[in-house]
Amino acid sequence: MWKVRGYKSALLVTSAIHMPRAIAVFRHANLPVIASTADVLAVGGDSRDVFAWLPEASALAAMTNAVKEWLGILVNKLRGYL
């Protein structure tokens, strides 16, 4: 479809966590893509701080996002998008 319309490439703007899956879908469709993240999650801090080693609620949210992406990749493969 994109060849019919004369597109040669696409600018892909999405969340950094979705980027690997999104790029894979575009590559599977043989459409060259230029990736640009809409957000970036930065982590870090002082590991010498004892509180840095304690679990945080944000870790659960990050794990939830990762699991959703893994499931998204699986579903895309099953549907033939990857």
Q: State both tokens at 48.
A: 């010498």
Q: Is 40 exposed, middle or buried (0-12, 13-18, 19+ CB in 10 A)?
A: exposed
The one-letter code for the residue type at 14 is T
Whether 2 is in a domain gets the answer no
> For the chain, how many structural domains are there in total?
1
- Per DSSP, the three-state class of 82 is coil
| Residue 15: domain span | 10-79
Instruction: Evaluate if pTM is beyond 0.75.
Output: no
Residue with tokens 């899956």: 21
**Cβ–Cβ under 8 Å, residues 69 and 21:** yes
pLDDT in tens, the chain (82 residues): 666 678 888 899 998 888 999 999 999 988 899 999 888 765 555 666 676 667 778 778 888 888 999 999 999 999 998 8
Q: State both tokens at 20.
A: 């690997």
Whether 29 is in a domain gets the answer yes
